[in-house]
Chain A
Amino acid sequence: MLKAAFAGAALLCATTLSYAHGFTVGDLTIQHPWARATAPAAKNAGAFMLIKTTKDDQLVKVDSDIAEKTELHEMKMADGVMKMSPIASLPVTVAAPAKLAPGGYHVMLLGLKRPLVAGEKFPLKLTFAKGGVVEVQVKVEDMTYQPKDDAHSGH
């Protein structure tokens, strides 16, 4: 009985933990903002996350101190070539959360001032049309990290 209770508590903790890396401000929830660690001399990186909302909104601006330029990007496949281009805004609706994931949208960090080291975090400012500014801590994952649940969601 006691054992079962402990197991239950442990399970609860584990469940809580897996959602621990998220940020909720007003109507907006930003889940697991992450980036891959970079080679020491690499210049660019992408940051990914899932943005949910309880009121339709739009992500209109991204800022960070870690790179010289921070942009919102879209990836599109054209004739076997993956093309990346800046976009002005990204809708976040109650029906469709904004998924920033490999193969789709990402926050582009251009001209990294220092390499991204696995285990570290860096701040990223997201500006929403209605929700205002939300600051999140982007978790730097291993260079070899592959998101499990949303690996190919960008297609």
Chain B
Amino acid sequence: MTVYMRCLLSLFSLLAAALLLSACAKKLTFQGSDISDSQIGQNFTLQDQHGKPRQLSDFQGKVVVLFFGYTSCPDVCPTTLAELRTSMQQLGDAAKEVQVLFVSVDPERDTPQLLAQYVPAFNPSFIGLTGSKAQIDETVKAFRAVYQKQGNGPHYTVDHTAGTYLIDRNGQTRVLVNYGAGAAVFTHDIRQLLEQ
């Protein structure tokens, strides 16, 4: 084998390695459902628990975890928020680059004051969002989620989409994590998006 050929060969293998690496960097595997191609979730305007207007674009650069719920929710919401709390602990320092948003689907009862009693109790960094019915309906629709008030009088409940959306640093919705998946699934998929 000539020196020239040997050189060419090593060049090829280098090139192949580089190609392989770049392919790896692009291919993300999620434990939740990959909904990158669905184009769902647009910008919204809602108010946080301090009454401050908030838009999805405010969190650009962070991985956003978005969940629909209500503070009088007996099961799904506290379970999910508790899992996210655990996930933030698992992420450690990287959690600073993650923003959890809890969007209320109960604007009648969930005032910013009530959200302030509830959402940050799980993690001080979590933000609760509410708004007018029209603002909430628009947000729910943008994420192709649903909610439905059940029962009359003051003790009604609200059925709602139980999945959690993961949005990448560029504002693109990437993953839907099903209810009850557990903190480890959140941690895995959030890490994938952080390292992207």
Contacts and interface: CB of A to CB of B under 8 A. Distances in A.
Given A84-B159, A151-B182, A152-B180, A42 B72 contact: yes
Interface in B136-157: 146, 148, 150, 154-155, 157
Interface of B: 71-76, 78-79, 81-83, 85-86, 109, 113-114, 117-118, 121-122, 146, 148, 150, 154-155, 157, 159-163, 178-180, 182
Contact of A43 (B72, B148, B150, B178): B72
A83 B159 contact: yes
Interface residues of A, number: 35
A144 B76 contact: no
13 contacts: A39-B114, A40-B117, A41-B117, A44-B74, A80-B163, A81-B159, A81-B162, A82-B160, A110-B157, A111-B154, A143-B78, A144-B121, A145-B82
**Which DSSP category, helix, strand, loop or mixed, fits chain A's interface?**
strand
A149 to B, nearest CB: 14
Nearest to A152: B180
Given A44-B155, A145-B82, A84 B150 contact: yes
Task: State the 3 A-B residue pairs at the shortest beta-carbon distance, nearest first.
Answer: A46-B74, A110-B155, A39-B118
A40 to B, nearest CB: 5
